[in-house]
């Protein structure tokens, strides 16, 4: 009988291969009393283990090919840095002294204390950094008890084409295993935001995390199917299922190869309209993925992620370094840096402390509202973005604008910061294009105002839909109401596109709707010529653009805009998508 295990699929694709169970061994730790005169020896044993762990990571770091993107080696560097941190090195030493206990127990106590701190964090990204602490702790622990992980850099015969089953994988191990040619991996622990998951996505490695169990019936060498799209691992399957999955796998590979051929081709519709197709990025590794997918630039750089995975606030110089590193990676391609969109679901410890608890944070002090109230947070970012504009084609974009007054206030502040930089003789682009996100219905309804005063607009459908339909985008209970095809949403989008045309302000769309192939023909028919999408969606969208003739889709798009019956809208969209 076939066995099926489900978990969270964290990158696309199907992998079929032989199981390689990575024996990581359980680590059971007990407290042992250490006689007073042996405490210093115990401390030395602990310090030796930390040194060995450091040594091991350096070996792994050096065995990764030089062509590996810097972001991947960064993960290993993070673990190396943790081995320098007193939280993991000095604190256990103190515990050994105070409690006169064994090194393993001291390390366990310290690990549990750190895990508690991470668990209490609101920010899901920061919470998953607990995994990094665990990976480093387990490395030291295994050295202490003489039970070491074996991802031997030399042993790649059995690993080639294998599907690795492990309790957990560190980013370092993942990078190494990929180098050894594995087809995919499945881990019992881990989540979609952990570094290992981010890495798997950026390496294009099919993977499933968080399965919780891996039944013992699945043995080393068994042929299994890893379906990362469904988040399922299938074992002991009949030959018909295996054949079907091999067919699906071939189909996916063929589709990917075909899509990859589009990488260097311009995004032009079947009847010759040039479409501007750029990418949305959050983390530095997304910029590399965007380049690999042949993006013509970055249409949305969500800078708040720079503020989210940490406990302090990045100052102007640090922000400048980050923006410049992205500008450099883009080698002359344009980038739109969005100013901070903190607040609501995007929490950060950088947010100024306040006694006030908002009952509706999505409608509260978020994004530009927060920045205008706390200019001490905003000014350093404006300075950093402006200074980065001296080194490449940088555009600046303001999120969540809703009124003329707010826009005037931002523009005055930007002017003031420009004057300040000028006085300080710091270089920047005086003519840096300034754009605004249209994501509040009020802004869409008065889009002409924003089109007149700004250099470009970008429609943030994620929020525009949330605010238009009055549904919290992060509340599962109302997800069923989230409808990009609602007549109100479509008409607002059309108003923004038309306002941009009237005042010669380019209009892009950077919400998820832009990256969903179901809506590409409709949006092209509505006159949208600028799409900013997640790097993984880019080639799929380009493919639809190539197969679409604007002249054919405009009429039906206009009919859809006049419809208010949702059934008819879907029917006509089907017609459009079959053209
Ligand atoms: C949007 O609202 O569509 C958007 C792109 O911004 P974010 O998802 O970051 O709120
Ligand atoms: Mg938004």
Torsion of CA 415, 417, 422, 426, to 10 degrees: -140
Give the integer Cα–Cα distance in Å for 544 and 201. Answer: 23
Length of the chain: 579
Mean pLDDT of 248-262: 91
- Phi/psi of residue 513, each to 5°? -60, -35
Model pLDDT for residues 28-86, shown as the tens digit of each residue? 788 889 999 999 999 999 999 999 888 888 877 776 666 565 656 777 788 888 888 88
More confident residue, 418 or 210: 418
State residue 475's pLDDT score: 74
Pair 296, 264: CB distance under 8 Å? no
Give the integer Cα–Cα distance in Å for 366 and 378. Answer: 13
Contacts of 430 (CB under 8 A, 6+ apart): 418
Assigned token pair, 307: 């503020």
Pair 532, 279: CB distance under 8 Å? yes
Give the integer Cα–Cα distance in Å for 543 and 488. Answer: 28
Cβ-based neighbour number of residue 36 at 10 Å: 9
Same fold flag, 3-23+151-234 and 267-577: no
More confident residue, 322 or 196: 322
Cβ-based neighbour number of residue 140 at 10 Å: 24
- 343 DSSP 8-state letter: B
304 CB less than 6 Å from ligand 1? no
How much is the mean pLDDT over the chain? 89
For helices 70-82 and 195-203, give the axis angle rounded to 10 degrees: 160
Q: Which of 101, 371, 510, 548 is catalytic?
A: 510
Taking the CA of residue 460 as reference, the ligand 1 atom at the shortest distance is 3
- In angstroms, the Cα distances linking 6 to 167, 192, 241, 516 are 15, 14, 17, 26
Assigned token pair, 181: 């040619």
Fold of 36-145: Enzyme I; Chain A, domain 2 (1.10.274)
- Looking up tokens 């602990």 gives 46
Which of the listed residues 439, 441, 458, 512 should we mutate to test ligand 1's pocket, taking the one with most ligand atoms within 8 A of CB?
439
Q: Which helix (H) or strand (E) holds 542?
A: helix 538-546
Torsion of CA 118, 122, 123, 129, to 10 degrees: 10
Mean pLDDT of 506-523: 95
What pLDDT band is residue 11 in, cutting at 50, 70 and 90? confident
Q: Which of 79, 135, 179, 195 is catalytic?
A: 195
**CATH class in words for 3-23+151-234:** alpha beta
Pair 63, 176: CB distance under 8 Å? yes
Minimum CA distance residue for ligand 1 atom 6: 460
**Could you report how far apart the first and last alpha carbons of the chain are, in Å?**
44
Taking the CA of residue 510 as reference, the ligand 1 atom at the shortest distance is 5
* SS3 assignment, position 186: strand
347 CB less than 6 Å from ligand 1? no
Mean pLDDT of 258-286: 92
Mean pLDDT of 220-248: 93
Assigned token pair, 217: 């019936």
What pLDDT band is residue 346 in, cutting at 50, 70 and 90? low
pTM greater than the 0.75 cutoff = no
Model pLDDT for residues 402-461, shown as the tens digit of each residue? 999 999 999 999 999 999 999 999 999 999 999 999 999 999 999 999 999 999 999 999
Q: Say yes or no to pLDDT of 153 above 50.
A: no
- In angstroms, the Cα distances linking 280 to 224, 263, 295 are 35, 16, 10
Give the integer Cα–Cα distance in Å for 264 and 293. Answer: 9
Contacts of 7 (CB under 8 A, 6+ apart): 186, 208, 209, 210, 211, 212, 231, 232, 233
- How does DSSP assign 163-224, residue by residue? EEEES---HHHHHHHHHTT--EEEESS--TTSHHHHHHHHHT--EEE------TTS-TT-EE
The residues that bridge with 19 in the sheet, in sequence order, are 163
More confident residue, 523 or 220: 523
Across the beta sheet with 232-235, what order do the strands follow?
3-6, 232-235, 223-227, 14-21, 163-166, 184-187, 207-209, 8-11
Q: How far is the CA of 64 from the centre of ligand 2 (A)?
A: 38
In the Cβ-directed half-sphere of 66, how many Cα atoms lie within 13 Å? Answer: 0
Domain 267-577 classified CATH 3.40.50.300? no
State residue 26's pLDDT score: 61
Establish whether 548 is a catalytic residue. Answer: no
Q: How far is the CA of 369 from the centre of ligand 1 (A)?
A: 15
In the Cβ-directed half-sphere of 443, how many Cα atoms lie within 13 Å? Answer: 30
Establish whether 195 is a catalytic residue. Answer: yes
Pair 413, 425: CB distance under 8 Å? no
Q: ∠ CA(87), CA(89), CA(92), 5° rounding?
A: 80
* Range with top average pLDDT, 301-315, 328-342, 462-476: 328-342
Model pLDDT for residues 488-504, shown as the tens digit of each residue? 999 999 999 999 999 99
* SS3 assignment, position 337: strand
The residues that bridge with 395 in the sheet, in sequence order, are 336
Q: How far is the CA of 29 from the centre of ligand 2 (A)?
A: 47
484 CB less than 6 Å from ligand 1? no
Q: Which helix (H) or strand (E) holds 105?
A: helix 103-119
Minimum CA distance residue for ligand 1 atom 7: 462
510 CB less than 6 Å from ligand 1? yes
E strands in 12-132: 14-21
Q: Say yes or no to pLDDT of 124 above 70.
A: no
* Range with top average pLDDT, 130-134, 284-288, 300-304: 300-304
What pLDDT band is residue 567 in, cutting at 50, 70 and 90? very high
* Range with top average pLDDT, 3-17, 352-366, 398-412: 398-412
User: What is the β-pairing status of strands 223-227 and 232-235?
Assistant: antiparallel
| Among the listed residues 515, 352, 519, 503, the one whose alpha carbon sits nearest the alpha carbon of residue 436 | 503
341 CB less than 6 Å from ligand 1? yes
Domain ranges in the chain?
Answer: 3-23+151-234, 36-145, 267-577
């Amino acid at each position: 009988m076939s066995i099926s295990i489900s978990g969270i699929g964290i990158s696309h694709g199907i992998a079929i291969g032989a199981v390689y169970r990575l024996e990581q061994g359980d680590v059971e730790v007990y407290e042992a009393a250490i006689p007073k005169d042996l405490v210093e020896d115990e401390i030395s044993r602990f310090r030796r283990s930390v040194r060995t762990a450091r040594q091991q990571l350096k070996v792994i770091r050096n065995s990764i090919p030089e062509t590996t993107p810097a972001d991947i080696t960064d993960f290993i560097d993070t673990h190396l840095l943790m081995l320098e941190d007193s939280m993991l090195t000095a604190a256990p030493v103190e515990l050994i002294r105070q409690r006169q206990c064994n090194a393993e127990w001291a390390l366990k106590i310290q690990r549990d204390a750190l895990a508690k701190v991470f668990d209490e964090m609101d920010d899901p990204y920061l919470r998953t950094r607990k995994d990094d602490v665990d990976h480093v702790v387990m490395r030291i622990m295994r050295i202490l008890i003489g039970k070491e992980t074996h991802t031997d850099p030399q042993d790649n015969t059995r690993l080639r084409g294998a599907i690795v089953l492990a309790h957990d994988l560190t980013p370092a191990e993942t990078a190494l295993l990929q180098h050894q040619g594995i087809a995919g991996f499945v881990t019992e622990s881990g989540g979609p935001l952990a570094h290992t998951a981010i890495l798997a996505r950026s390496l294009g490695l099919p993977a499933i995390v968080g399965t919780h169990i891996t039944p013992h019936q699945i043995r080393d060498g068994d042929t299994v199917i890893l379906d990362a799209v469904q988040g399922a691992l299938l074992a002991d399957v009949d030959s018909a299922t295996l054949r079907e999955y091999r067919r699906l796998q071939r189909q996916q590979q063929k589709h990917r190869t075909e899509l990859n051929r589009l990488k260097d081709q311009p995004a032009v519709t079947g009847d010759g309209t040039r479409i501007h197709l750029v990418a949305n990025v959050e983390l530095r590794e997304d910029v590399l993925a965007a380049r690999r997918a042949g993006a013509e630039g970055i249409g949305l750089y969500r800078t708040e992620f720079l503020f989210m995975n940490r406990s302090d606030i990045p100052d102007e110089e640090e922000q400048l370094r980050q923006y410049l590193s992205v500008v450099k990676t883009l080698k002359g391609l344009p980038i739109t840096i969005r100013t901070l969109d903190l607040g609501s679901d995007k929490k950060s410890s950088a947010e100024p402390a306040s006694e006030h608890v908002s009952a509706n944070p999505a409608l509260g002090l978020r994004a530009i509202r927060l920045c205008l109230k706390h200019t001490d947070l905003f000014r350093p970012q404006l300075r950093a973005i402006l200074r980065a504009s001296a080194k490449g084609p940088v555009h600046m974009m303001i999120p969540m604008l809703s009124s003329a007054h707010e826009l005037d206030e931002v523009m005055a502040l930007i002017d003031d910061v420009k004057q300040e930089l000028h006085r300080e003789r710091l270089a920047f682009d005086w003519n840096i294009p300034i754009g605004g996100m249209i994501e509040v219905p009020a802004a869409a309804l008065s889009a002409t105002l924003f089109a007149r005063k700004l250099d470009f607009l970008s429609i943030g459908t994620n929020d525009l839909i949330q605010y238009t339909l009055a549904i919290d985008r992060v509340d599962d209970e109302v997800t069923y109401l989230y409808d990009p095809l609602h007549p109100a949403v479509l008409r607002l989008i059309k108003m923004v596109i038309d306002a941009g045309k009237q005042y010669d302000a380019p209009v892009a769309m950077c919400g998820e709707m832009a990256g969903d192939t179901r809506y590409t023909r409709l949006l092209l028919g509505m006159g949208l010529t600028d799409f900013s999408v997640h790097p993984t969606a880019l080639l799929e969208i380009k493919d639809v653009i190539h197969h679409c003739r604007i002249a054919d889709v405009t009429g039906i798009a206009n009919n859809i805009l006049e419809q208010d019956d949702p059934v008819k809208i879907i029917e006509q969209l089907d017609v459009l998508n079959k053209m």
